């Protein structure tokens, strides 16, 4: 994300969206009541045509889609010859806009992080005998891609022919994708991943890392991330950081030491007992005052997203948890 101009004291920032990861950051920054100004297409009063105009709207709904962030709200400023009412900005790479809001420390830090962030795409291939699953991991989340299965209805092969055909198909999927990604991580139990690796070209091998996992599929992907596969190929990835802090919290829960979750967290924040507050992104939106109070008490706030296993585990605990400075009485 490119910050073109900003003034925290005056409460505004001019931004240019550069990639999909920026949309992930903006989803956590833009809130209901914020005002956005941008160029957009809008129907004229005669109702017969749309023209490019500059509008200012007050955000009411923020919805994330695959390659854009939709911000809908009531128009506050616009040309005289347009229909007023409600409008939707589709924020996507290449778009510039201005935003006014009362920034929290967390939101301002997110802006700076987004500006300095380097995006990445890591292709994960989890392979076992006769089956391979592909996933794309980016800062903005995890996407399920294709699946290669050895079973081909209506065709008969010998074991050797079937095996060779399977490995060739897995290799072909990798070859079609690897130029578009930063790294490839081959995962799985046993030696099947090594058989795939042996088919790769020298150029493909330069981007390739191998990680043992006990299973394949989404469970195997979560295991690979937990074992540090992302850390091998990216620096300070968001998913790895969030997984690490949730795992640290769960470890303290297992030990029965300096950890709490659920409604009692609010009370512990008031007491100044919270060293680190963990909130899912949805809970963060609903508990801005709690996050601000935590920071005023000298604690840190961690926003954890539910697009990976660690976030799902936090969500199952109510979406709110805390690592404590001391065990309360």
pLDDT in tens, 265-297: 999 999 999 999 999 988 988 888 899 899 899
pLDDT digits over 144-191, tens only? 998 998 764 444 444 455 568 899 999 999 999 999 899 999 999 989
**Residue 265 · residue 274 · CB < 8 Å:** yes
Residue 237 has a pLDDT of 76
- CA dist 291 and 28 (Å) reads 13
Residue 327 has a pLDDT of 84
For all residues of the chain together, what is the average pLDDT? 89
Mean pLDDT of 210-215: 94
Above pLDDT 70, what percent of the chain? Answer: 95
- CA dist 80 and 46 (Å) reads 12
pLDDT digits over 104-116, tens only? 888 898 899 888 8
Residues 6+ apart with CB under 8 A from 237: 120, 139, 230, 231
Q: Find, among 240, 235, 231, 232, the residue nearest to 208 by Cα.
A: 232
- CA dist 323 and 305 (Å) reads 18
- CA dist 82 and 308 (Å) reads 43
Residues 6+ apart with CB under 8 A from 252: 258, 259, 323
Ordered structural domains, the chain, with CATH: 2-116 (2.30.30.870), 121-233 (3.30.420.60), 240-324 (3.30.1330.30)
The radius of gyration of the chain from alpha carbons, rounded to an integer in Å, stands at: 24
pTM: 0.64
Residue 153 has a pLDDT of 44
- CA dist 176 and 178 (Å) reads 6
- CA dist 184 and 23 (Å) reads 24
Residue 240 has a pLDDT of 84
Residues forming a β-bridge with 274: 324
Q: How far from the centroid of its chain's Cα atoms is residue 151's Cα?
A: 34
In this structure, of 15-19, 117-121, 149-153, the range with the lowest mean pLDDT score is 149-153
Residues in the chain: 329
- CA dist 129 and 143 (Å) reads 23
Neighbours of 129 (CB within 10 A): 15
Residue 151 has a pLDDT of 63
């Amino acid at each position: 994300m490119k910050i073109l101009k900003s003034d925290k004291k005056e409460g505004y920032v001019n931004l240019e969206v550069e990639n999909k990861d920026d949309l992930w950051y903006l989803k956590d920054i833009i809130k209901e009541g914020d005002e956005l100004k941008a160029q957009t297409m809008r129907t004229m009063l005669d109702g017969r045509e749309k023209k490019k105009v500059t509008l200012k709207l007050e955000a009411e709904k923020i919805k994330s889609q695959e390659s854009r962030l939709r911000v809908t709200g009531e128009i506050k400023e616009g040309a005289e010859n347009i229909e007023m009412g409600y409008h939707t900005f589709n924020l996507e790479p290449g778009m510039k806009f201005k935003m006014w809001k009362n920034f929290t420390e967390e939101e301002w830090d997110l802006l700076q992080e987004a500006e300095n962030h380097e995006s990445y795409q890591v292709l994960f291939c989890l392979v076992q005998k006769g089956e391979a699953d592909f996933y794309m991991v980016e800062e903005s989340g995890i996407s399920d891609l294709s699946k290669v299965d050895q079973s081909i209805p209506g065709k008969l092969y010998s074991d050797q022919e079937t095996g060779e055909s399977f490995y060739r198909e897995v290799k072909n999927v990798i070859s079609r994708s690897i130029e578009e990604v930063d790294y490839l991580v081959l995962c799985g139990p046993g030696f099947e991943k090594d058989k795939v690796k042996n088919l790769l070209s020298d150029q493909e091998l330069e981007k390739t890392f191998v990680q043992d996992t006990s299973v394949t599929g989404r469970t195997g992907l979560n295991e690979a991330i937990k074992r540090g596969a992302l850390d091998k190929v990216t620096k300070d990835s968001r998913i790895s950081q969030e997984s690490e802090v949730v795992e640290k919290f769960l470890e303290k829960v297992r030990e029965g030491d300096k950890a709490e979750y659920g409604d009692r967290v609010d009370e512990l924040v008031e007491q100044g007992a919270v060293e680190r507050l963990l909130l899912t992104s949805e809970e963060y939106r609903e508990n801005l005052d709690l996050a601000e109070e935590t920071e005023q008490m000298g604690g840190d706030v961690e926003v954890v997203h539910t697009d990976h296993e660690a976030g799902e585990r936090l969500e199952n605990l109510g979406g709110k948890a805390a690592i404590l400075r001391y065990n309360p009485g």
